[in-house]
């Protein structure tokens, strides 16, 4: 009997037919976020929050990903993507999906959420609302006192060119004609001030009513152009290419070069124009012509432009009953309970500590730096910073440590997208305090999360290390799910020292103990771990991979996963966002499942489990399986080896794989579907983790509060 072609021909695991387009996969993720704005199980204000998040996500997608496609098109880029699509094909598909997406956003706002707000006693007045009586008087008085002095109305004529419209700014354009003139029409525009509250509450008892600032400005436009009649007016907003282009080899001073490029971000190529629905065609034509946008780049909006204002609405007082309170976060870490002000170093010496944020508080990480800053035994603190909060206690502690004479080295990544300006401010402040500040490496972003504290103790020098999947940002640590580990094992300490020596100079050790670094060999380590599972499966030994990350789009890694699946390895992937891998392909990915969890917290941790023939290995990392992470960033993969930590990671993975409430399953047709709940226990993994953290902290507190009373005769 002759062998089939399937048995004789080698399988090409890199066939583009086996891959999904990265940009369309991201849009599918934002569609999953938008779904959360529609489900009745979510409280109303949580639904508003998710709608706002989708708008914010979309802004960044246009500024970076759509802009990148436009740049490639303009440069004549010919290479096809991982799924075999040309740049032109990607742009056409992306813009089609985005127009449908924006339409769906406003359908949800107009038909569901806005009417539901009215039912709850809160009305948002938008879309050319006509005010009368006391409302009109209040709006006009508010305009005169608080808005008019801030505005800069700008006319456009032969002596005054069309003004530069800032990226993401909200504007009102108008066509005007001079009173008593010849009837000629001119264009004028005014920017809605960004530093002023956009939601203004109208006075009066009973139902609460809010009006948007642009509506107040629109009704008072005649005051801005006193000698003109307003022919028509409408709101518009432009999105621009905001991806920085920095030639680090040519830049003598990286900090100054980034500061210069940041100014250009506001004036990049226009790639999206949002306009009020029903805008006069003459006005639209003028704006479109001046901004040089194509027809498909124009988004008529059936409602208020820029739905990110809904996040401000979410923060309003008086509507707590319409918000989610089922997720308990920020519980004390059991290892640090027992003292009013725990000794962080003593806790770490007792054994490695794995923390799951935000269910367990981020405070020990902050206190770790704060205690190190004031501890006379601490000689040095070294830390990488990618994104930090606006009023970061960690930055303040590092500055205090330097002022007290400690050796403080901080790598501040200036190229952290959309945090560049923020990080420049922190870098300058740390330098003034006496810290040694490193501005990253040429050609690479430093994305790893690592802190090293060197302390002199009775038995010699001891190194304390913190490694994490998320940033040293105390604000986002309350919103993102991440994992962090404290250890003082010497092997980790030696590697941590080597990392910082490599970042600050050119020193690289001959061998490493525990850590795997990108772009050196982290990718090779991941590939070898996947291939090891493949060999175990072929030999009939237990083989399984569970991998949790934000995104998966590395072609070589996906091909290795396909080969492992074809060999019989069960692969369960938990991927929040982009996934270029396709499931259910016969003979290729039949043993692979992919799920995305979109819940109250942003899933951000990276956990990797390899069965290894019954001797499982667990890893955490700062890196997703993407080309940028594995090849163009400094990232760290590190093992978790203590029994308690490994059990905790396995529990996290198993609980998320059992999630029936917030999980979306990737289907063979490359769409996502909700879990079929029939006959299954209802599991919301985020709620489970929150309740478990609350119980664990309560149990530890009860243990500490028990008092031993001796028996008497």
Catalytic residues: 447
| Cβ neighbours for 416, distance < 8 A, ≥ 6 positions apart | 386, 387, 423, 445
Q: Return the residue matching tokens 């008085």.
A: 141
**Nearest partner of 563 among 536, 587, 539, judged by Cα:** 587
Residue 469: DSSP 8-state: S
SS3 73: helix
What tokens does 12 get? 């090409």
**Nearest partner of 577 among 612, 548, 556, judged by Cα:** 548
Whether the upstream peptide bond of residue 314 has omega within 30° of 0, thus cis, is: no
Instruction: Give the DSSP H/E element, type plus range, for residue 410.
Output: strand 407-412
What tokens does 94 get? 């992306």
In angstroms and rounded to an integer, the radius of gyration of the C-alpha atoms of the chain is: 28
Report the DSSP pairing between strands 170-178 and 407-412.
unpaired
Measured torsion, CA atoms of residues 61, 65, 67, 70, in degrees rounded to the nearest 10: -140
- Residue 73's Cβ-side half-sphere holds a number of Cα atoms within 13 Å equal to 15
CA distance 701 to 596: 35
| CA distance readout (Å), 127 to 11, 219, 698 | 57, 11, 51
Distance between the two ends of the chain, CA-based, in angstroms? 91
Residue 132's φ and ψ, nearest 5 degrees, are -135, 165
| Cβ neighbours for 422, distance < 8 A, ≥ 6 positions apart | 387, 388, 390
Helical residues (DSSP H) of 143-190, grouped into ranges: none
SS3 559: helix
Pair 593, 573: CB distance under 8 Å: yes
């Amino acid at each position: 009997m002759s062998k089939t072609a399937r048995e004789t021909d080698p399988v090409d695991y890199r066939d583009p037919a086996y891959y999904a387009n990265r940009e369309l996969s991201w849009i599918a993720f934002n569609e999953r976020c938008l779904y959360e704005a529609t489900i009745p199980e979510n409280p109303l204000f949580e639904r508003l929050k998710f709608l706002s998040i989708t708008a914010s996500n979309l802004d960044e997608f246009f500024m970076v990903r759509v802009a990148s496609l436009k740049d490639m098109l303009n440069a004549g880029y010919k290479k096809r993507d991982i799924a075999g699509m040309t740049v032109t094909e990607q742009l056409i598909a992306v813009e089609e999906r985005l127009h449908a997406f924006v339409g769906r956003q406003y359908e949800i706002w107009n038909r569901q959420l806005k009417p539901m707000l009215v039912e709850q006693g809160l009305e948002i007045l938008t879309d050319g609302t006509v005010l009368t009586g006391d409302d009109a008087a209040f709006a006009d008085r508010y305009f005169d006192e608080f808005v008019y002095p801030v505005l800069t109305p700008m006319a456009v004529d032969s002596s005054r060119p069309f003004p530069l419209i800032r990226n993401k700014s909200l504007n009102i354009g108008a066509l005007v004609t001079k009173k008593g003139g010849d009837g000629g029409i001119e264009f004028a525009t005014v920017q809605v001030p960004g530093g002023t509250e956009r939601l203004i509450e109208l006075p009066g008892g009973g139902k609460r009513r809010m009006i948007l600032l642009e509506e107040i400005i629109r009704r008072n436009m005649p005051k801005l152009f006193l000698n003109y009649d307003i022919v028509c007016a409408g709101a518009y907003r432009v999105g621009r290419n905001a991806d920085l282009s920095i030639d680090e080899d040519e830049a003598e001073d990286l900090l100054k070069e980034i500061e210069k490029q940041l100014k250009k971000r506001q004036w990049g190529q226009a790639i999206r124009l949002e306009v009020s629905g029903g805008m006069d065609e003459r006005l639209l034509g003028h704006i479109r012509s001046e901004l040089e946008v194509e027809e498909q780049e124009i988004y008529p909006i059936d409602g208020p432009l820029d739905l990110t204002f809904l996040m401000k609405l979410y923060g309003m007082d008086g509507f707590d009953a319409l918000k989610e309170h089922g997720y308990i976060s920020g519980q004390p870490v059991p290892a640090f309970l027992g003292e009013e002000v725990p000794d962080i170093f003593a806790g770490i010496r007792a054994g490695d500590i794995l923390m799951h944020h935000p269910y367990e508080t981020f405070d020990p990480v902050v206190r770790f730096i704060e205690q190190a800053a004031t501890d006379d035994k601490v000689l040095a603190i070294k830390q990488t910073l990618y994104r930090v909060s606006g009023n970061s206690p960690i930055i303040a502690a590092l500055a205090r440590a330097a002022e007290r004479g400690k050796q403080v080295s901080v790598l501040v990544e200036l190229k952290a997208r959309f945090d560049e300006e923020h990080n420049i401010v922190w870098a300058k402040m740390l330098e003034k305090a006496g810290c040694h500040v490193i501005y990253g490496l040429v050609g690479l972003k430093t994305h790893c999360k690592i802190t090293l504290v060197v302390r002199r103790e009775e038995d010699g020098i001891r190194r304390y290390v913190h490694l994490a999947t998320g940033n040293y940002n105390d604000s986002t640590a309350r919103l993102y799910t991440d994992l962090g580990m404290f250890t003082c094992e010497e092997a980790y300490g030696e590697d941590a020292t080597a990392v910082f020596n490599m970042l600050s100079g050119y020193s690289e050790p001959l061998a490493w103990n525990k850590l795997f670094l990108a772009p050196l060999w982290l990718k090779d380590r991941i590939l070898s771990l996947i291939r090891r599972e493949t060999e175990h499966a072929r030999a009939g030994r237990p083989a399984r991979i569970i991998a949790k990350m934000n995104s998966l789009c590395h072609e070589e890694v996906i091909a290795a996963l396909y080969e492992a699946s074809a060999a019989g390895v069960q692969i369960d992937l938990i991927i929040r966002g982009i996934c270029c891998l396709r499931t259910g392909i016969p003979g290729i990915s039949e043993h692979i499942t992919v799920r995305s969890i979109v819940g109250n917290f942003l899933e951000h941790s990276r956990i990797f489990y390899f069965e290894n023939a019954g001797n499982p290995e667990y890893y955490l990392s700062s890196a997703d399986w993407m080309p940028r992470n594995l090849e163009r960033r400094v990232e760290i993969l590190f093992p978790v080896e203590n029994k308690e930590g490994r059990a905790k990671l396995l529990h996290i993975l198993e609980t998320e794989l059992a999630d029936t409430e917030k999980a979306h399953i990737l289907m063979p047709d490359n769409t996502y579907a909700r879990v079929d709940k029939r006959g299954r226990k209802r599991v919301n993994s985020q709620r489970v983790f929150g309740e478990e953290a609350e119980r664990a902290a309560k149990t530890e507190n009860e243990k500490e509060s028990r008092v031993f009373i001796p028996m008497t005769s």
